[in-house]
Amino acid sequence: MQPIVKTNGAEIPALGFGTFRMPGPEVLDIVPKALQLGFRHVDTAQIYGNEAEVGTAIQQSGVPRSDIFLTTKVWVDKYARGSFAASVDESLRKLKTDYVDMLLLHWPGSPVPMAERLEGLNAVRDAGKVRNIGVSNFNTHQMDEAARLSKAPLATNQVEYHPYLDQLKVLEDAERLGMSITAYYAMADGKVPKDPVLNDIGSHHGKSAAQVVLRWLIQQHGVVTLSKTSTASRLKENFDIFDFHLTVDEMKAIHALARPDGRIVNPQGLAPVWDKAA
């Protein structure tokens, strides 16, 4: 049974299936298989251009919508008061549902005042279109500001997180605010499967380096992780992480892989000034 991360009212399946850079036909092929296998958390975004296929895939999976935790994200050009709600309505139409379980502000980079963005998030939540709200790619200063300005508690901050990037400051801030962290880019753009330390740890458990990292993430308090694959055989591998436990020493060895240049995703104009590792 996969663990659930409980955070500021949300109950989030600890392992999600992410659809970033996944074209529509691939979504239609792989998302129903992921849901049939046991995934119960699907992550998309307006900017991914595949919300409609995600909605169809959920319908075609045979898994009841009410059993699935569905996340989407508002793109930065829709933050203003005049376009926020309409963009969410459009997302719901494409996703073929009358609510999403989580709605996030996708990136902080925008001239729209933070208070106005949070007003938009809270309004769609109050209207019943969104069960939980949160942010993505926010630094700790922005997390604090957003939490202060939001009427409803924020449930998560979705950020890049893998063994090569120390996110301790963000994790500590999230815990203080009662929020979870949702990790994306867990495989660090293909570095993880080749890592000798991770492969060595995996060999002690009969697991791959990828499984070790997904386990390392969900074994941390308040951490949810997204996995992604376009290969059906890899789906089962990614899901097969609930039957082993990493030791304290193994967890430390993985944390020790972090390095100052470990960040991969840093789009100019969208990204904040990131927190420096402790």
User: Distance of alpha carbon 268 from its chain centroid, rounded?
Assistant: 21
Compute how many other C-beta atoms are within 10 angstroms of the C-beta atom of residue 228. Answer: 21
Question: What 8-state DSSP symbol labels residue 53?
Answer: H
Residue for token digits 């935790």? Answer: 69
Q: Which of 63, 69, 66 is nearest to 6 (CA)?
A: 69
Say if residues 87 and 60 touch (Cβ distance below 8 Å): no
Phi and psi at residue 109, in whole multiples of 5°?
-65, 105
- Determine phi and psi for 135, rounding to 5 degrees: -135, 175
DSSP class of residue 109?
-
Residue that has been written with the tokens 């998309």 in this structure: 44
Query: Is 48 annotated as catalytic?
Result: yes
**119: Cβ contacts below 8 Å, ≥ 6 apart:** 81
H-run or E-run covering 126: helix 114-126
Q: SS3 for 102?
A: strand
What's the CA gap between 206 and 96, in Å, rounded?
40
Q: Centre a 10 Å sphere on the Cβ of residue 33 and count the other Cβ atoms it contains.
A: 15
CA–CA distances in Å: residue 271 to residues 102, 240, 241, 262: 21, 33, 31, 15
Residues linked to residue 12 through DSSP beta bridges, in sequence order: 5
As annotated, the active-site residues are: 48
